[in-house]
Structure 1
Amino acid sequence: MKILKQGLSTFDLKVIGITLMVIDHIHQMFVPMGAPGWLDWFGRPVATIFFFVSVVGFSHTHNKFQYMLRLYLGMVFMAVMTTALQDWVSYDQVVLMNNIFRDLFIGTMFMYAIDEVRKGFKTQHLMPVVTGVLVFLLPFICSVVMGMYMGTINPNLMVVRAMLALLPGILIAENSVMVLLIPLLYLFKDKKWIQAGLIALVAIGYFALGSTQWMMIFALLPIMLYNGQKGRSLKSFFYIFYPAHIAVLYLLAAVIYHH
């Protein structure tokens, strides 16, 4: 087959991820109207594909700070947009927790931390190592701070919303601690078979827990076909398409449900 011979570019992986993601979100939005549960299965490999793509992107970008900033702004915008949508449109049957940008931004923090620690050991300077450790711990610290505040008596709703929008807490990430797969993939970015083994181990863990997330193992099919080529650029498209399709599907489902 042509695909087996030529392989898949980064662009191809993104297209596959986006296609599966849309099917998954159709299931999410239309569950109250009887959308079949098996549609959700299509979404299980999506995060793994995007995690892999983010490792490739972060490894090759010329400006890591700009790469991280785009994801952070996307995270904030997505949090504000989903909150506003749920305030404006009554559709309580679906809770919008979608924010893959948070997962990917936290992933870049972990990758940046690894780079800093490596730099510190290479130059034998302590400061980069300390910086790297602190950056790596920050998503966990944010989660603890948020948990402590939300556990107080009568937490202020606006403060909670601000924290949810601005803080990269790993425990409020869409895929939670599964985001730790990103730094693991980054550590072995030049060893695809080890990356495949790590993905398989995580999938086995989910299978043991009885979670359908074990189907993430099917992400290995396109990932192992990755040919190292960038292909066409899809950067700006994804930043626009992701929030747009969530909003459109949510509004469409709300209108249909109430009529």
Structure 2
Amino acid sequence: METIKRRGLTNFDIKILGITLMFIDHFHEMFAGAGVPTRVDLFGRPVATLFMFLSVEGFTHTHDQKRYLLRLLIGFWVMAIGNMVIGRLFSVGNLGLMNNIFADLFVGVLTMYGIQTVAEGKKQHRPGKLLMGILIVAIPLLLSVVAILLTQPGMPHYASAVVLLLPTPFIAENSIFLYLGPVLYLLRHHRNWQMVAIAGFALLTTGFHFTGLFTQNTQWLEILAIIPLSLYNGQLGKSMKGFFYAFYPLHIWGLYILAALLGIKS
């Protein structure tokens, strides 16, 4: 039995796969102006889905859900502020430094926390807790309305900076598709249905337009995340939490600065 349990990919293995594909994707993003072919971008399509899945695992297995949420929120703010600072100091043509998957993960996990609170409120027959859960789920959407208002013509110049510090679907890399994470949370006891959900979201990202599926319309390739996730054995593996949190901003900033120093134009 022990041998069977060890088969497949651990949480650590999937993270390593995710950051490897992420690095390749961002290398293309920063150096496309130097001739890195567009097809290299295809490697990055499954990455967000992999980390959304892992965020479900992190949320359901952490000993402190609020601290987990706080880490994601701090990661989001550090990334947002770092992007603004580096974007002012360096330039890669017209390429803006907007990457911040912490927004997607924070909103997704916050929504999971809200769903959990709603379920507890119903189970405990506590209407106040149920309403609190609904409010938690709604907060990112309400902040999106605020963000939209702040981007209207005539708003102060600092309003755009405020928007970038609000973790909302409005600024998230995957927009409303970040809600794949909460859907995977709802299906956490049914791995096969999780894979179906990933396929469904992949279809939705095409907008049901099936032209240019390997050129402009490539987000559907997130469906490839099904392959490693189907092999996930539920085990943690090695724990290098600090490394993974640091790798994301540092590799993006490093590639952007290098591209700027080399005079790459987007």
- Match of 1:100? 101
After TM superposition, the structure 1 = structure 2 runs for residues 26-45 of structure 1, keeping only pairs within 5 Å, are 26-45=27-46
Structure 1 segments, 4+ long, off by >6 Å, are 2-5
Residue 64 (structure 1) aligned with residue 65 (structure 2): yes
Q: Is the 8 A contact 1:116 1:129 kept in 2?
A: yes
**Are the equivalent residues in 1 in contact too, given 2:31–2:264 (CA < 8 A)?**
no
Tell me, yes or no, if structure 1 residue 187 matches structure 2 residue 193: no
- Give the alignment partner of residue 232 of structure 1, picking from 224, 235, 238: 238
1:6 aligns with 2:12: no
Q: Distance in 1 between matches of 2:220 and 2:47?
A: 12
Name the CA shift for 1:3/1:22 in 2 (closer, same or farther; >3 Å): farther
| 1:4 CA displacement | 11
**Aligned partner letter, 1:14:** K
Q: Contact 1:106–1:170 (CA<8 Å) still a contact in 2?
A: yes
In the superposition, the TM-score normalised over structure 2's length comes to 0.92
Equivalents in 1 of 2:196, 2:161: separation in Å? 38
Q: Which has the higher helix share?
A: 1
Change (3 A) 1:231 1:258: closer
What are the within-5 Å matches in structure 2 for residues 1-259 of structure 1? 6-153=7-154, 155-165=155-165, 167-207=166-206, 208-210=208-210, 211-257=217-263
Superposed displacement of residue 199, structure 1: 0.4
Percent identity reads 43
> How many angstroms apart in 2 are the aligned matches of 1:238 and 1:172?
22
Question: Whole-Å Cα distance in 2 between the matches of residues 68 and 5 of structure 1?
Answer: 29
Give TM-score, length-normalised by structure 1. 0.95
CA distance in 1, matches of 2:4, 2:24: 23
Q: Tell me if the contact between 1:109 and 1:136 (Cα under 8 Å) persists in the aligned partners.
A: yes
Q: Quick one: distance in 2 between partners of 1:89 and 1:200?
A: 39
- 5+ residue gaps, structure 1: none
Residue pair 1:32, 1:93 contacting (<8 A) in 2 also = no
Q: Per the alignment, in what secondary structure is the counterpart of residue 135 of structure 2?
A: helix
Pick closer, same or farther for the CA change 1:3–1:44 going to 2, 3 Å.
farther
Find the residue that maps to 1:232 and give its secondary structure: coil
Give me the whole-angstrom Cα distance separating, in 1, the residues matched to 2:262 and 2:4: 40
Deviation at 1:133?
A: 0.8
| CA distance in 2 between partners of 1:108 and 1:25 (Å) | 24
Secondary structure of the residue aligned to 1:59 is: helix
**Number of aligned pairs?**
256
- Deviations along 1:42-62, whole A, 9 cap, x unmatched? 000000000000000100000
Tell me by how many angstroms 1:3 deviates.
Answer: 11
Structure 1 residue 5 displacement after superposition: 7.6
**Cα distance in 2 between the residues matched to 1:252 and 1:75:** 23
CA distance in 2, matches of 1:176, 1:161: 18
Unaligned runs of 5+ in 2: 211-216
What CA distance in whole angstroms lies between the structure 1 residues aligned with 2:102 and 2:126?
32
Q: Deviations over 1:101-122 (max 9, x none)?
A: 1110001111001110000000
Q: Secondary structure at the match of 2:250?
A: helix
CA contact (8 A) 2:11 2:232 kept: yes
CA–CA separation in structure 2 for the residues paired with 1:164 and 1:138: 16
Deviation at 1:162, TM superposition (A): 2.4
Superposition deviation, residue 145 in structure 1: 0.9
